[in-house]
Each structure stands twice: as structure tokens, then as C-alpha cells.
Structure 1
Amino acid sequence: MAGRILAICFDCGDTLVDEGTEVKDDSGVTLRAELIPGAAETVRELKRRGYPLALVADGPVGTFHHVLTQHNLLDLFDVFAISGELGVEKPHPAIFHYALSRLGIHPPDYRRTVMVGNNLARDIKGANHMGMISVWLDWAPRRAKVPADPGEVPQFTIKEPLQLLQLIDELEKALS
């Protein structure tokens, strides 16, 4: 059951979805893709535990609708903060503010929220700037593996999505 962590935000590409499997239409919208092993189980278990979930992702809105519907995950997310709809990309604070405000979380409590992503320059830098708990999923080979500046240094690193469950348990204990 959810405790001191108020919400968990996820990126999508190479965090939940294996970008290497994406099938796109002519406009660049992903029509279908496979998930990273353990991603669906992780999202479902966090939702079962009662955590509010947000998707904070860059790209066209249709991409996320298609892929999350394909894997029966769309309805598990409480909020969608998508760059294609909001007009800003991560690490811009507006995309994070949008997600957290829609979840009813105020700036003093951002430190009790988690952002999970694969991109140091976008996901981790944005989360760190907001004061969120940053969790880097170091799974795919498509992004930089070394932080370019101190703002890109993750607070935590996991190698596969299922490791997030144990990390959340540890964070709950540390915050109590």
C-alpha cells in the first residue's frame, strides 16, 4: 500500500517500451511496440499498491495511446503529461509541474515523488531540478550512459524495471 511516496512518474520509451521494437507510421507516431521485460508487471504492482502513476513523456500523444492500450496499461495511469500536447519537452519544468499538479501534489512535496526514466539529460535532469527522487533505468544502449553535468546524476540506478519495486520499498522505509 502506498505510504510516504506520493506518486511515481514514468517516461515511456526505453523505460517501459523497448524503442528498438517500435513500428511507426509516416508521421512518426508509434503504432505498436514491445515492452521492456518486467515493465508491465512493475506498473501493475505499483498501481495495486495504491500509488498514483503519471506518464511524463516526449512525443506525439498517439504513440502513448497506441502502445499503452496494446499492453493494457493505459488505464493504470492517472495523469498523462505528454510533450506533444503540452508544447514543451523534458527537462522543461512545465511538463513535470503539469503532471504533479494534476496529481494534486504541491511543490513542497515534490521530494516525495519519483521520476523513472532512461534519459539522463531529460528525465533525470528534469526530476533533479524539480526536487523529485530521480531513478535512472540503465537498460537500453540508445542514450548517454555518463552524466554530462551534475544535474544529470541520478539519485538511484536500476538495470531492469522490476528492481523499482524493491527500491520503492526501501524509499518508503527511509522516508518513515
Structure 2
Amino acid sequence: MSSDDRKRGDTAATGTAAWDAVFWDIGGVILELESVQGAHAAFVEGLVEEHDLEVTVEEAVDTWRTAVGDHFREREGTEFQSAREAYATGVEALVGEDLPRERWESDFEHHVESSIEPVPGAVETIRELSRRDVHVGVVSDVDDEAGKEMLEQFGVREHFDSITTSEEVGRTKPDPAMFETALEKADAAPERSLMIGDRYDHDVKGADDAGIRGVAFGAEDGPAVAYRIESLEEILEIVDEDGPGA
């Protein structure tokens, strides 16, 4: 990470204050989103075969994604909408009926569990970061149980000191309640905390509005970006070399 990528420039110096907390988004930061899309496509293909649907797999996947997306778009503002309910809406849109969960949920979970992968470097960085004297937390718009199961599957759940999900808070990012809840759990000062995210408005600017330093990992550029990283390992450099007062 070059100094040009940092909003505040090269701040490596002795005597800088330590960070209180580092918060992580899940989707796109810990969880490789393409692997999720692959799992959903495999699940949809199974539905097409099981129910003899007269559509191509590509058409079925498009129907699924549209129905799931519409479900989330129906929410008011930052109101939480369960992904579980969104997936049920997608199934109904495909098969033309409200299929009982026991008919499809276990198959869906199997595809997800067997397909999802972490973002390269995420697992190793989280484990290494947990060895630092800093609170390591999650702030994510996932269903509570699903998010924790993903972290468990990747072998990193035990390395997080706190996990804050939208289902728990009842709101989604960039609602201030998400970040305020995480800060309260960490007993951390916002200006001494970092938030790693892949979406500018939700993760980076949302964090910045709450006083937290935003770390862009694939997110668009903007004035709220305090740090931009190209690999997750670079967060270790920020924690080890930079201080919030720099």
C-alpha cells in the first residue's frame, strides 16, 4: 500500500495512539460474493430439474435474482429484511407456489455450505489481527444465524470479539444504529476505530458519518475514504504503523 493510497499520507511514526477497534463487513470483504452467486445458481438449477420447469437455467437464475432483489427493494429505508424470506420469495417465483421450507431449505443450505469461499487473505488476516491489542468485530447486513455460520465455516468466528448483524439491530447499513451498536459492544471511540467495507455508501460513508475511519476494499472512491487497500493484509500495516491521531 503506497502513501498515495492513504488519505492522510504516510503516518508511520513512534508514539501514535493505538486503534481501539477494527470492524469488518462480511459480503465482499470476508465472503467471496461470486461463490455465493455460484451456490444460488446451483440451487436454482436443482429446482428446475426437480419441478420440471419449462425454462432454461439461465432464465430461472434471472427470475430468482429478480424476485430476491425486489424483496429487498420493498423495504422502507434501512429497515431489516430477512434473506431467508427473500430466498423463499425467489423459490415461489420459480415454482409458482409457496413451497414449504422443509421441501427446499436443506438443499439450499447444502449448496451454500459446499460452495462459499472466503476472500483471499481474509482468514489469515483476521487470525493475525486477533493477536493484536485491538477489538476485532463484524458489522454486516446479514441474517444473524447465517452470518455466524459463515464465520464458523471459515474458521474465524472465534477470532471476533463482537458480531453485529442487521437482524440483531433491526436496521441495515448505513443506518447509524449499526455502527453505534458495534462501537458500544467494543467500548471503542469512533475516531479510534476502522471499518473495512466494499461499498462506499453503506460501509465507508456510513462509518464515516458515525465518526469511524472508513477503509475501502474495492469500494468506490470518495471523501469518506480514510484508507484504501488492495489486499486485506494491508490492514495489518495500518494497525501496526498508523495511529488515529496521525
Alignment-derived partner of residue 169 in structure 2 = 86
Residue type matched to 2:234 in 1? Q
2:120 counterpart of 1:37: yes
Question: How many angstroms apart in 2 are the aligned matches of 1:43 and 1:158?
Answer: 15
Question: What is the DSSP-based 3-state SS (H/G/I as helix, E as strand, rest coil) of the residue aligned with 2:203?
Answer: helix
Question: What is the DSSP-based 3-state SS (H/G/I as helix, E as strand, rest coil) of the residue aligned with 1:48?
Answer: coil
Alpha carbons 2:179, 2:210 under 8 Å: kept: yes
2:203 counterpart of 1:120: no
Question: How many angstroms apart in 1 are the aligned matches of 2:139 and 2:173?
Answer: 8
Question: What is the DSSP-based 3-state SS (H/G/I as helix, E as strand, rest coil) of the residue aligned with 1:34?
Answer: coil
Alignment-derived partner of residue 131 in structure 1 = 211
2:76 counterpart of 1:62: no
Aligned-pair CA distance for 1:169? 2.1
Match of 1:166 among 237, 240, 243: 237
Alignment-derived partner of residue 157 in structure 1 = 228
Aligned-pair CA distance for 1:71? 1.1
Moved more, 127-136 or 159-168: 159-168
Question: How many angstroms apart in 2 are the aligned matches of 1:167 and 1:52?
Answer: 14
Residue type matched to 2:201 in 1? A
Aligned-pair CA distance for 1:48? 0.9
Aligned-pair CA distance for 1:146? 4.8
Alignment-derived partner of residue 180 in structure 2 = 97
1:53-109 deviations in Å (ceiling 9; x for gaps): 11000021122122111111111111111002211000101011111101122xxx2
Question: How many angstroms apart in 1 are the aligned matches of 2:220 and 2:217?
Answer: 10
Alpha carbons 2:215, 2:228 under 8 Å: kept: yes
Output the TM-score relative to the length of structure 1: 0.82
Residue type matched to 1:163 in 2? E
Residue type matched to 1:63 in 2? A
Match of 2:132 among 40, 49, 53: 49
Q: How does 1:101-112 map onto structure 2 within 5 Å?
A: 101-105=184-188, 109-112=189-192
In proportion to residue count, which structure has more helix? 2
Question: How many angstroms apart in 1 are the aligned matches of 2:238 and 2:18?
Answer: 13
Question: How many angstroms apart in 2 are the aligned matches of 1:54 and 1:146?
Answer: 24
Question: How many angstroms apart in 1 are the aligned matches of 2:162 and 2:25?
Answer: 12
Moved more, 41-50 or 25-34: 25-34
Gap runs ≥5 in structure 2: 1-16, 44-82, 88-107
Alignment-derived partner of residue 46 in structure 2 = none
Output the TM-score relative to the length of structure 2: 0.60
Alignment-derived partner of residue 101 in structure 2 = none
Residue type matched to 2:240 in 1? D
2:71 counterpart of 1:71: no
Question: How many angstroms apart in 2 are the aligned matches of 1:21 and 1:68?
Answer: 15
Question: How many angstroms apart in 2 are the aligned matches of 1:64 and 1:50?
Answer: 24
1:154-175 deviations in Å (ceiling 9; x for gaps): 1111111111111222323x63
Determine which structure has greater relative contact order: mean sequence separation of CA pairs < 8 Å that are 6+ residues apart, divided by chain length. Answer: 2
User: Superposition RMSD on alpha carbons, in Å?
Assistant: 2.2
Match of 2:27 among 3, 7, 13: 13
List 4+ stretches of structure 1 deviating above 6 A.
none
